[in-house]
Structure 1
C-alpha cells in the first residue's frame, strides 16, 4: 500500500509542475509579465519551463527523487515571493500553496520513491 500511495503522491505533485510547463509553453505571457514586473529577464521563463517539465517527469518516474524533490521544495519556496501580495487573497492562497507543495516535496525526499519507479537496466558484460 505504501508504494501505491507514494506513486500517487509523486504523480499528483508532478501534475502541478508538468501543468505549469505546459501553461508556460502555451501562454508564456502571464509568467513573462510576472518576471518583468520583478525586473528579471523574461527569458528565465524557458529555463523554468524546462525545469518544471524535467523535474515533473523525474517525480513520475521516481528517478533522482530525493535531489529533485529537495530542489522542487527550494524552487517552491523561492517562487512563493512572487505571490506574496497581502492585499490580494488569490495571490496569498498561491503563496501558501507553494509552501504546502514544498512540504510535500520534502516529505517525498524523506520517504523516497518506493518500489514503483523506473529502474535503469544494468549492463551485463558479454
Structure 2
C-alpha cells in the first residue's frame, strides 16, 4: 500500500525566498523611479489632493520594505504593511478611461495578495540570520 503521508516540499523554502525577492524588486523599482523622477509620483498625489512631499516617505518605505523582504527580516509585518500600501495606492491608478492605469490597479491588488501570503506564511528558511 502506498504511503500518502505528507512530506515537506523540498523546494518550498527556496520558492518562498525567490518569491520574496521578486516581490521586493517591484518596490526597489518603485523607490528608484521616485528617486529619479519624483514628479511622476508627486503629480499622482497632487491629483488626489495630497501633498507632493509624500513622495519622499513613500520612497523610503519602498526601499526599506524591499530590503527587509530580500533579507527575510520582519517579513510578516513588512508584508502586511506592503499589502495595505498596495491596496491604498491602487486608488491613484483608478482611471477607468485609461486601460494601462487600470491594469496597474489590478497588478497592485495581485501584489497585495502575494504580500498577504508572505504575511501569513513568513520568510521561509532562507534569511540573513545575522540581521535578526
Q: TM-score, normalised by structure 1?
A: 0.93
Structure 2: 5+ residue runs without aligned partners? 1-10
| Candidates 84, 90, 102, aligned match of 1:80 | 90
Q: Which residue of 2 aligns with 1:94?
A: 104
Which residue of the other structure, out of 66, 85, 89, is the alignment partner of 2:76?
66
**Helix, strand or coil at the partner of 1:110:** helix
CA RMSD of aligned residues (A): 1.2
- Whole-Å separation in 2 of the counterparts to 1:38 and 1:99: 19
2:18 is aligned with 1:30: no
Q: Deviations over 1:66-103 (max 9, x none)?
A: 00000000000000011011111001000000000000
CA distance, structure 1, for counterparts of residue 38 and residue 104 of structure 2: 18
SS at match of 1:43: helix
Partner of residue 53, structure 2? 43
Q: Which residue of the partner structure matches residue 123 of structure 2?
A: 113
Q: Extract structure 1 runs of 4+ deviating beyond 2 A.
A: none
If the length of structure 2 is used for normalisation, what is the TM-score?
0.89
